[in-house]
Structure 1
Amino acid sequence: MSDRPLKLVLIDHDPIFRLGLRVALEAIPNIQVVTEAATDTEALQALAAIAQQDPNLVNLVVLELGDSRSIDTQQQGLQLIQQLKASYPTLPILLLSSVQTTGIITAAKAFGADGYCPKGAAVAELVTAMTELVSGNSYWRETAVSTELSPPLSTTVSRLPLAQFRQNLHTSGIGYIETTLKAITEQLQTPGLPILERAILAGRRRELLTARWLLNQLLLTPQEQPQPQPEIIPSVPPPAVFPTPSGEIVIADETTRLTPPPLLSPRLLQSTLFAACINKLQFSLKNVSDVPLEIDIFREDKKRELLYLILQKLSQQLDDLREAQITDRQLLELKPIILNDLWQATVTDFFGKFSRIEIGDRSVEVVNILLQNPAAIQTAILNKIPLVGELLSYLLLQTDLQIDNTSYPAGTSDANCQAEIMLENLLIQVANAVVQPLLNYLADVEQIKQNFYDRKLISTREIERFRNDLSWKYRLNAYVNEAREIFESRYELFVFAPRGIATISVYAPRNAELAQLTGIPLVVTLILEFRDAIAPRLQSVLAFFGSGIVFVLTQIVGRGLGLIGRGIIQGIGSVSFSEKNFKRDNPRSK
């Protein structure tokens, strides 16, 4: 990236998107979001104020052209581009928009826009586009049209009867199958997917693969059928050699060669993880796990706003810690303080530092009530968030991740995936910590319910039922679930999945915690151990007795009943035959 700092104005009607983009960009060095605006009027006023203060304070405008479904908003966006170019002709404008219509993009270019990048593009591509514009160049992202599903037919094939009809039918069918197959494959990779649903999706995938094969066989001639691609076996690179201080040439072993060095700076690594997390926050935030969460009482937009805010506060904390240049050991010692500061800062900004509500005949400050018992929150939730130290060390010091009994080198895609899981769990747990004091002290206040709660949970009965469910969760966790997880050497982590908030399980050595268990949790582990010890033997005994019972019922009782039934049938038959003979020989019957 260019050494020239990027100082931009962000114009977008969606406050959640602005917040997420700001968090992602400000984690990158030399990028600063000077101000934001939701409308064209706010944008023009902000730029006018900046121009009076310092004309060089801003060198880029990032603009949403308008709603992709509304022509009126798109026309307003074009007018704003024209006004900006008329007032600030040297200020480059980058369209970061969901609009992908070629005509609208061409019109924006004619009105003076200097570049275009669609929403959903990677942060690295967005930074590249910004750098190009600030450097005096342009950047226009073109939508590539894939032609893999409809390869051109040869001249010989086109002469076959109904070739065009078969080609269109095949292209349509294959396109639908490939789209559905891709969607199902992505669903199968979703964390925390139930076994039954996974089996159903796997069956659908097999059906689609079979349908694709049949379609190729029925609608394509042998000349048209796709040829199998030869498997490309990568050549093994020669062993790396390097000189030692003694002048000897040493061949690097396999482990040394396969461990890549970190490729990203800590800030860029943080930006990559945060951007991936922001993209996942666009998913549904419905809780699809079996564990009730405190944030379940919030509306989905409030959940998303809270999670974005936590991500922003965490980014600021990481910047402060990075400037302090703390060591890995100091980081572990400061972990409780870091989490507590993150919780307090989020509560203060989310509910408003000076916000007040009316309770009866008195007015109280919301934040003061929510922050009055930080020790309880620290003990109940914050101290129990797993793998926080490892995540902070990875983001600040780029240490390798040791998780799920596997070591992941810093900066690799696998390490980033694991760090992303840890980050998502941290966000969800801190959000629970923010909501918990609200449920304890202000759960049934009308102003709180109107501003934050889900419509299904606004009645007093539903609120109390929800609080009781959480109370049972705390008790089960304290006495049963945590002890079982410690005994099974694992953590349950919450993650953002396409269908909602789900849980996954990762291995972690927890022998030290197991040795400290006392009371009921210790009894739970002993019961689990006893069950594991007795279950195989008990199953063998039950299987033996079961086979014996089956033998008795089928071979003895069954045969005995069969003989009895046969005797009864024969007896009935003999009596009937005797009666017939008696009636025939008896003269009175005549």
Structure 2
Amino acid sequence: MSDRPLQLMLIDDDPVFRLGLRFWLNQFADLTVIAESDNGVDALEQLQSQVAISASDPATTPAIALHEQLKLVILSLSLGQHDPRQMQGLSLCEAIRQRYSQLPVLLLSSLDEPLIAAAAQQAGASGFCLKSVNTTTLNQTIRQVTTGQFDWQKLTPTRAVITTVDSEVTPLVRDVSPIPPAQLTAAPSALTLLRHNLRVQGLQQIDAAIADLTEQLRNLDLSLLNRAVLAGRYRELRASRWLVQRLLATPDLTTPPTPEQPASQVIPSHPESALTQTTPGTPLLNTVIDQHRLQALLFDRALSNIQTNLNNQTGIPLEIDILREDKKRELFYLVLRKFEELLNELRYSQVQPEQLIEKRSPILLNLWQDVTTDFIGKYYTITQREQAIEVVPNLLQAADSVQTEILEKIPLVSSLLEHLLFHTPLLINGTPYSAGNPESLARAEALLDHLLIQVANGVMQPLLNQFPNVEKIKQDFYDRQLMSSRDIERFRNNLSWRYRLARIVVEPTDIFESQYHLFVFQGSGIKQIQIYAPRTQELEELSGLRLLVTVALETRDAIAPRLRSAISVVGSGLVYVLTEVVGRGIGLIGRGVLKGIGYWQEGDRTRRR
């Protein structure tokens, strides 16, 4: 038996779930994802290219050639549901099975409906599984499908829906798999179908509301009152879901309801988060853990952070602030994905720890180039002065400035790479912490967050500098509140002043104070933290105005305490003079004036008598 890992392909238009599933699959040594796609047309093209690569024997059929290269396609049933122009999940499954009959297809669905499972079997799927199942079940299902041992009978048997009701009235009803003769009965009534459709639509709306509440409950900045109100609404929705399942149940078409989770347990709103959940409070021992597990822990946490609010809470302008929320999230996903691929390349290239320091700059530059190309689009073209201009080649020409101003200033990249690739302990406040320790995990998470944010800023910087007011770019990428020329120029000026101030004042100050400022995903958005790190060599290399800043800080530190003491003494003396001397003198003068007024009034009364 070959030791070659099972090669898989992922097809899903949800980049979040696809990324999470790939992270989870890569934890297994005998599983590897070699291709992925977000639409049917691209998926079929990739399969055809795999056939061309693997078909070395002209007599080999495409199906057999592809099966030798690719062992399983994991396809989302919801593919294309939000875009009718795209190929739908069931249609793609049928097309794959018709062209490559020996290639197994595992369909994943977010709906626990017997009709869906039956339709999947009818479309030729080799297996069916819910996206929300636990990791053990999903792992078993994948291996059963690849070996042809998936048992459709384990799914609750359903009755075929054979009806002449108009499809516009019951759009959720589809033909399902053949059934044994013993199960052939009359078609369900129109009332049963209506109840079924109402139940499915109601559960979808309730699940969407539950997912929205779950996202809000994950906000660490919620007050106790708001959290209590949201928790109450969450319990109400869970109760409503239970009632809808019971009151609108259709025994002929449904399976027994799955056990409800306790109301106190928050359900992940994104399916991929269910793949790598860990029990809160589980201690992480100060021991070496598996490389893939450490990487999966950090990347899963980063993925979870990216799904939350991405507003800039630092008060410092960042290049990514001009992006729409969806584009900002897409950019972070892409940086995370490319960084994962970079780690795999370094791991397979057998790079040694001492080589990472000298390869640091090329590694970051390659990461930036890959992300820029994929995010903007390799062939993305704009028109200026009646000339077609390819954007990406122009952006890549700014590599030197991006590397100087952003990439080279990302701290501790070599330490992070060594920690992820070789489990080298992280030095935190002068103390080394091994991989798996809570302190090292927290520090690695902060370094990874900062890397993602700064690379994303590097992608946007040349775009803002070279194509700031191109209407097509503004429509495709920019936030609707920052689309006017005035707003864009103000934004660019703020960025320019920020870099000037950072270069002249902030960076020398940080070097002198032996610290780094990191941008991290925290609570309600992007925030800034400080970490200690020795920077003696950088301090010795300072010169010019940057050196004068440190001299001014040192002078202030030397003079300020004594000056404050002197001012305090002078101030105390001045207070004494004003209150005890001048104040008493003014008081005596005022007293004499009052006495004079009194004598005058008394003499005036005497004269009147």
Deviations 1:471-512 (A, max 9, x none): 111111111111000000000000011211110000000000
Correspondences of 1:71-110 after superposition (within 5 Å): 79-88=115-124, 91-96=127-132
Q: Shift in Å at residue 403 of structure 1?
A: 2.8
Tell me if 1:260 matches 2:286. Answer: yes
| Residues 24 and 274 in structure 1, CA contact (< 8 A), matched pair in contact too | no
2:18 aligned partner: 18
Distance 2:427 2:474 in 1: 42
Amino acid at match of 2:96: I
Amino acid at match of 2:377: G
1:393 aligned partner: 418
Distance 1:86 1:524 in 2: 73
Tell me if 1:130 matches 2:138. Answer: yes
1:482 aligned partner: 507
Q: Shift in Å at residue 411 of structure 1?
A: 2.0
Q: Shift in Å at residue 350 of structure 1?
A: 0.8
Distance 1:309 1:337 in 2: 19
Amino acid at match of 2:286: P
Distance 1:89 1:349 in 2: 32
| Residues 313 and 525 in structure 2, CA contact (< 8 A), matched pair in contact too | yes
**Structure 1 residue ranges (4+ consecutive) displaced by more than 6 angstroms after TM superposition:** 3-9, 137-140, 182-185
| Residues 25 and 271 in structure 1, CA contact (< 8 A), matched pair in contact too | no
Q: Shift in Å at residue 19 of structure 1?
A: 3.9
Question: How many pairs align?
Answer: 438
1:558 aligned partner: 583
Residue 468 of structure 1, aligned match among 493, 517, 527: 493
Tell me if 1:539 matches 2:564. Answer: yes
| Residues 6 and 134 in structure 1, CA contact (< 8 A), matched pair in contact too | no
**Structure 2: runs of 5+ lacking an equivalent:** 37-72, 82-86, 145-149, 156-212, 229-283
Q: 1:7 to 1:82 in 2, by over 3 A?
A: farther
Distance 1:413 1:51 in 2: 47
What TM-score comes out, normalization by structure 1 length? 0.69
Q: Shift in Å at residue 555 of structure 1?
A: 1.4
| Residues 400 and 408 in structure 1, CA contact (< 8 A), matched pair in contact too | yes
Cα RMSD for the two superposed structures: 3.1
Correspondences of 1:310-389 after superposition (within 5 Å): 310-389=335-414
2:107 aligned partner: 61
Task: Describe the SS at the equivalent of 1:286.
Answer: coil
Q: 1:183 to 1:83 in 2, by over 3 A?
A: closer
Task: Describe the SS at the equivalent of 1:443.
Answer: coil
1:427 aligned partner: 452
2:441 aligned partner: 416
| Residues 107 and 128 in structure 2, CA contact (< 8 A), matched pair in contact too | yes
Distance 1:21 1:184 in 2: 21
Q: Shift in Å at residue 291 of structure 1?
A: 1.7
Distance 1:504 1:452 in 2: 28
Distance 1:27 1:446 in 2: 44
| Residues 220 and 523 in structure 2, CA contact (< 8 A), matched pair in contact too | no
Deviations 1:543-584 (A, max 9, x none): 111111111122122222222222212211111111111221
1:39 aligned partner: 80
Distance 2:125 2:535 in 1: 62
| Residues 16 and 305 in structure 1, CA contact (< 8 A), matched pair in contact too | no
Correspondences of 1:108-123 after superposition (within 5 Å): 116-117=133-134
Distance 1:449 1:404 in 2: 44
Q: Shift in Å at residue 61 of structure 1?
A: 3.1
2:464 aligned partner: 439
Distance 1:433 1:42 in 2: 36
Residue 48 of structure 1, aligned match among 80, 94, 101: 94
Q: Shift in Å at residue 28 of structure 1?
A: 4.9
Amino acid at match of 2:384: I
| Residues 284 and 500 in structure 1, CA contact (< 8 A), matched pair in contact too | yes
| Residues 377 and 392 in structure 2, CA contact (< 8 A), matched pair in contact too | yes
Distance 1:11 1:563 in 2: 94
Amino acid at match of 1:46: L
Correspondences of 1:258-337 after superposition (within 5 Å): 260-263=286-289, 265-337=290-362
Deviations 1:126-150 (A, max 9, x none): 3x3312334669999xxxxxxxxxx
Q: 1:58 to 1:385 in 2, by over 3 A?
A: farther
What TM-score comes out, normalization by structure 2 length? 0.67
Distance 2:434 2:558 in 1: 39
**Structure 1: runs of 5+ lacking an equivalent:** 66-73, 97-115, 118-125, 141-178, 189-200, 209-257, 585-590
Distance 1:35 1:368 in 2: 35
Task: Describe the SS at the equivalent of 2:88.
Answer: helix
1:573 aligned partner: 598
1:174 aligned partner: none
Deviations 1:510-529 (A, max 9, x none): 00000000000000000000
Tell me if 1:529 matches 2:554. Answer: yes
Q: 1:561 to 1:58 in 2, by over 3 A?
A: farther
Distance 1:572 1:28 in 2: 101
